[in-house]
Amino acid sequence: MRTAFIAIDFINDIVHLKGKIPSCAAQVAERNAVQQANLALQYARTHDWLPIFVKVGFSSSYKEQPKNSPIFGKAHTIGALQLGEWGTEFVDTLAVDKEDLVVIKPRVNPFHGTILDSALRANGIEQLAICGVSTTWAIQSIVRDAHDRDYKSLIIEDACAAASQEEHMLSITQLSRIATIVTVDNLS
């Protein structure tokens, strides 16, 4: 089964303690989520999985930013999530290669308004191995949408994080009905 490794929103504004909206930073550090994602990525590369890195971001004009969104609506007022700036760069410890596919999303869901589905289908992908932040929002969103698009999903639990461990585990429990929950140690 052709698989894609998808890492979501490991960007400075969200997961770095000095980011502008570091809602998951403490949990990412506590859970070693980036290091776990790198181990999963290493596995993916050795098994010829397609590596994809997803990040949320908006142009400097913020014209595509959803101003009424409770999550993204104030980004323009604090200069958060601006493409081309430090905040939307992947954290420097994430092992992104210049040849890897990078998908920029304008909303929570990595499928919404992006090339993700086209890229997956162009590469014959049937299964997604997913990690990143936040388990509560982006991970839930991609897994639910992937399910409805007939992809099989693996959630790499120890390479994900949310604002709290409780939020993370609640999401994992909910998603376990439509995805397979794995750890880096039992990827396959």
127 by Cβ neighbours in 10 Å (0-12 / 13-18 / 19+) ranks as middle
Quick: pLDDT tens for 90-101: 999 999 999 999
- Domain ranges, ordered by start, for the chain: 3-186
Given a cut of 80, is residue 188 above it in pLDDT? Answer: no
Given a cut of 80, is residue 26 above it in pLDDT? Answer: yes
Task: Encode the chain in three state secondary structure.
Answer: CCEEEEEECCEHHHHCCCCCCCCCHHHHHHHCHHHHHHHHHHHHHHCCCEEEEEEECECCCCCCCCCCCCCCCCHHHHCCCECCCHHHCECCCCCCCCCCEEEEECCCCCCCCCCHHHHHHHCCCCEEEEEEECHHHHHHHHHHHHHHCCCEEEEEEEEEECCCHHHHHHHHHHHCCCCEEECHHHCC
The average confidence (pLDDT) of the chain is: 97
Angle (nearest 5°) at CA 164 between 114 and 104: 15
Task: Looking at the structure, give the CATH architecture of the domain made up of residues 3-186.
Answer: 3-Layer(aba) Sandwich (3.40)
Mean pLDDT in residue range 64-72:
94
Mean pLDDT in residue range 33-56:
98
Quick: pLDDT tens for 101-158: 999 999 999 999 999 999 999 999 999 999 999 999 999 999 999 999 999 999 999 9
